[in-house]
Amino acid sequence: MIVQLFEGIGSGTSIMIFVTIMLIILSSWSIQRPKNMPPGPIAWPFIGNIPSFFGKSSLKVLTDFSKVYGDVYTLKLGNRYVVVVNSIESIRETLVKQPVEFAGRPRLYSAELMTDNYKDIVFSDYSPIWKLHRKLASAAIRNYASGSHLEKLVDGIKPKLDAALSEKGNSAFDPKLIIGYGVYNILASMCFGIEYDFDDPDFKKLMNMLENITDVFGEGLMADYIPGLRHIPTPGLRNVQNLFSEYLAMIRKEFKRHQDNFNPDEIKDLTDFVLAAQQEAVEEGNDNIADLSDDYLVQTLSDIFGAGSDTTTTTLLWSIATLVDHPDVQAKVQAEIDEVIGRTRSTNLNDRGSLPYTQATIYEIMRYGIVAPVAVPHRTISECTFGSYRIPQDTWVLINLYAVHNDERHWEDPHEFRPERFLSDEKCQVERPDSFLPFSAGRRVCLGESLAKSEIFLIFTWLFQTFMFVKPTDMENVKTAEPQADSGLIHIPKPYKVLVEKRF
């Protein structure tokens, strides 16, 4: 039949039949899942399961599929197979038991644009260069952004936060700008030794840029799933390119300023720290000098600044929202801080063990708000297994942390806010259940976990020691801590307003 078709290929009907047959062959090939992969919904030709997400919350779609196909299932996004992991048990089987195999990162066009061709930590593949920069960033944070260094950085911003909150008087306000100001300034001092004024246009521009970047990564570019689209220069793509280059230009400017004034005997911040590592490599004639080039170091700093800002700000915004919804919890936190710390001194990091209820409340906020609902996409770097299933090399893997933190098999009434679930029976000790993984797990576990937990503890305890947050009277019957519909990469609360009163 095919021969006859070619013989009569000049006629219009034959061409149509030929094209139809080729389309059918191509489509069935494109929807066929490789043998033994985890099950999943039937995919459309070429676009796969992308239409399942149109107009719906992607977290809900991802989580609902797990109820039909199990804890680990396969989707097709464009021309890509994507395995979705939805429970603590399946995270153990994958990220924890096969850590290296699952430690790759997909090549996303959006990431390529942002990271100067994958010179960063977050999106670069599992490789010696990734390890080198992860180690360098961890050492920088350990030396210049933990313990008393971090306490000093947080203390430095308190007077401005205090003034900004105190001047709100009786007017209801959205705390996003003030909290964002505090967190961004701590990071800016930590990374670059700079501090912005509240009304500094550069600060507002930076905050907008980072929010927009988070949105881009949350929504992804179609070219991430359908690679051919990267060659179509749409206005949307150009906007994204401009956004990324503007953000990187800001980091490069600070990096250059540090290079021009660098004094190895006076390391003041993380930029000085990475420059010192570069200088040492040059002086010692190390083989890895090229891997510590300026471009790589700029990306390492951009990651610390970028990954640490919106995640921490959003956790604090969930904190205020949940505690105005639960004034009883707010009162207990304040009573514990008053009793253990008093009102004349601020908390320090050594106080964490003596404030179990407060610490349990922070953990419950992290579970309930789950700021990073899906980990940064992983990729299998070799063939892996999950039970009797096979996951081929180069498969994308999504870790659905939202599903893990709302799994009824591990959390009783997961949609309720209950700090007590993190307390021992005697209520005097914090207990961290195994299924609590807001920072993910395995080789790509959040690099800033310890920094984030310390920083959030210091800001949170100061906020609620110093202020009482309440709902505006016209909002008394409205829930404040509601997620914004499809907030993407970062799970943010809907914008809300509160009233604030100084406690003493």
Residues near ligand HEM (CB under 6 A) are: 121-122, 134, 141, 303-304, 307-308, 311-312, 315, 371-372, 375-376, 399, 438-440, 444-448, 451-452
Q: Report the distance separating Cα 448 and Cα 459, nearest Å.
A: 16
Q: Which of 320, 326, 286, 308 is nearest to 490 (CA)?
A: 308
Q: Report the distance separating Cα 155 and Cα 25, nearest Å.
A: 65
Between 175 and 448, whose beta carbon lies closer to ligand HEM?
448
**Least distance to ligand HEM, CB of residue 327, Å:** 24
Q: Which of 356, 327, 311 is nearest to 461 (CA)?
A: 356
**Least distance to ligand HEM, CB of residue 444, Å:** 4
Between 107 and 168, whose beta carbon lies closer to ligand HEM?
107
Answer whether 90's CB lies under 8 Å from 386's CB. yes
Give the DSSP per-residue string, 233-268: --HHHHHHHHHHHHHHHHHHHHHHHHHHT--TT---
**Least distance to ligand HEM, CB of residue 165, Å:** 21
Between 123 and 173, whose beta carbon lies closer to ligand HEM?
123
Residues with Cβ within 8 Å of 253's Cβ and at least 6 positions away in sequence, in order, are none
Between 216 and 226, whose beta carbon lies closer to ligand HEM?
216
**Least distance to ligand HEM, CB of residue 438, Å:** 5
Between 226 and 307, whose beta carbon lies closer to ligand HEM?
307
Between 229 and 445, whose beta carbon lies closer to ligand HEM?
445
End-to-end CA distance of the chain: 89
- In 3-state terms, what secondary structure has residue 389? strand
**Least distance to ligand HEM, CB of residue 303, Å:** 5
**Least distance to ligand HEM, CB of residue 447, Å:** 4
Between 60 and 131, whose beta carbon lies closer to ligand HEM?
131
Q: Which long-range contacts (CB under 8 A, 24 or more apart) does 222-227 make?
A: 222/78, 223/109, 223/110, 224/106, 224/108, 224/109, 224/110, 225/48, 225/50, 225/77, 225/78, 225/79, 225/80, 226/47, 226/78, 226/79, 227/79, 227/109
Q: Report the distance separating Cα 182 and Cα 320, nearest Å.
A: 14
Between 48 and 438, whose beta carbon lies closer to ligand HEM?
438
Q: Report the distance separating Cα 94 and Cα 441, nearest Å.
A: 10
**Least distance to ligand HEM, CB of residue 439, Å:** 5
Between 43 and 206, whose beta carbon lies closer to ligand HEM?
206
Closest-CB residue for ligand HEM? 448
Residues with Cβ within 8 Å of 462's Cβ and at least 6 positions away in sequence, in order, are 154, 158, 346, 347
**Least distance to ligand HEM, CB of residue 46, Å:** 28
Q: Report the distance separating Cα 453 and Cα 35, nearest Å.
A: 43
**The tokens of 410 are what?**
């591990």
